[in-house]
């Protein structure tokens, strides 16, 4: 690539906007506004609700990108969960249970995709942490203990961290692991006061710009606003942070057609 990498994270609230209407087309328009190389989506809903059904295949065809899905909840009507949507080919994608299967009350997951972009190793983790503070703290501990940058590459952790306080219990772990990062407000979308949606980068100097995508359409399409990050490859060749542990074993999940 001859330009910096554009990455965004967006909780699409199951396609339900602030007017209470489920509208996948409105979310698609916001995704086109973002024009990201890699997009981390939370609360993607592939269930049939009130006769409306939007699949991951629809997402790929509408935006001309490849989608990797991590269902965190499934049932008779379909599934919902997290998605990494990308214009690049992923070398590997791992799915991790950090919720109920890890002795927590809520079903929560983290997906990790490895890319080779212009000769640079880039690891992108997409997650949606728990609502309950103690569960969120334990999940943050697991993430920072096991998640590491690829050798001589870049690590990006993005998602809805559900942390109400700028220096909340989960943020402390991320700050200690990867340093201070901007925390602009993203929730509620109509009048944001809380920075639920975050992007953390290691090495930190690779993050050259971070901003909230606050447009009239984005304020209506979901209860969260997207966050956009610009990542500079020129400074990304710094020595990577070493892993503390061997890492988790990916748990492959069957995705309904």
HEC readout, the chain = CCCCEEEEEEECHHHECCCCCECHHHHHHHHHHHCCCEEEEEEEECCCECCECCCHHHHHHHHCCEEEEEEEEEECCEEEEEEEEECCCEEEEEEEECCHHHCCCCCCEEEEEEEEECCEEEEEEEEECCCCHHHHHHHHHHHHHHCCCCCCCEEEEEEECCCCCCCCHHHHHHHHHHCCCCCCCCECCCCCCECCEEEEEECHHHEEEEEECCCHHHHHHCCCCCEEEEECHHHCCCCCCCCCCCCCCCCCCCCCC
CATH dotted code for 5-231: 3.60.10.10
pTM exceeding the 0.85 threshold for the entire prediction? yes
- Amino acid 169: pLDDT: 75
* Lookup result for tokens 């050798």: 151
Contacts of 16 (CB under 8 A, 6+ apart): 22, 23, 222, 223
- Amino acid 118: pLDDT: 86
- Closest C-alpha among 23, 242, 48, 40 to residue 151: 242
Distance CA 124, CA 18 (A): 29
Distance CA 245, CA 257 (A): 35
Contacts of 94 (CB under 8 A, 6+ apart): 111, 112, 113, 248, 250
Please state the separation of Cα 223 from the chain's center in Å.
16
What are the pLDDT tens digits along the chain (257 aa)?
A: 567 999 999 999 999 999 999 999 999 999 999 999 999 999 998 876 655 667 888 889 999 999 999 988 765 555 678 999 999 999 999 999 887 655 567 778 899 999 999 888 999 999 999 988 888 888 998 888 889 889 889 999 999 999 987 776 788 889 899 988 999 999 999 999 999 999 999 999 999 999 999 999 999 999 999 999 999 977 655 444 433 333 433 333 333 33
């Amino acid at each position: 690539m001859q330009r910096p990498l554009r990455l965004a994270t967006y909780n699409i609230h199951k396609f339900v906007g602030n007017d209470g209407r489920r509208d996948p087309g409105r979310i698609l328009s916001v995704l086109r506004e973002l024009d990201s190389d890699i997009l981390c989506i939370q609360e993607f809903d592939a269930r049939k609700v009130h006769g409306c059904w939007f699949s991951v295949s629809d997402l790929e065809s509408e935006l001309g990108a490849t989608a990797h899905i991590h269902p965190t909840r499934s049932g008779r009507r379909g599934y919902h969960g997290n998605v990494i949507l990308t214009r690049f080919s992923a070398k590997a994608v791992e799915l991790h249970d950090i919720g109920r299967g890890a002795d927590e009350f809520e079903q929560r997951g983290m997906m990790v995709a490895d890319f080779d972009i212009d000769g640079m190793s880039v690891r992108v983790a997409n997650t949606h942490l728990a609502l309950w503070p103690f569960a969120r703290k334990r999940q943050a501990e697991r993430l920072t203990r096991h998640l590491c940058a690829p050798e001589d590459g870049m690590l990006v952790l993005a998602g809805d961290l559900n942390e109400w306080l700028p220096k909340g219990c989960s943020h402390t772990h991320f700050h200690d692991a990867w340093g201070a990062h901007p925390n602009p407000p993203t929730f509620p979308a109509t009048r944001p006061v809380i920075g639920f949606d975050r992007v953390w980068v290691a090495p930190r100097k690779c993050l050259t710009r971070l901003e909230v995508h606050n447009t009239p359409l984005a304020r209506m399409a979901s209860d969260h606003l997207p966050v956009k990050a610009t990542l500079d490859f020129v400074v990304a060749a710094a020595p990577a942070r070493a892993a503390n542990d061997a890492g988790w074993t990916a748990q492959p999940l069957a995705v309904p057609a």
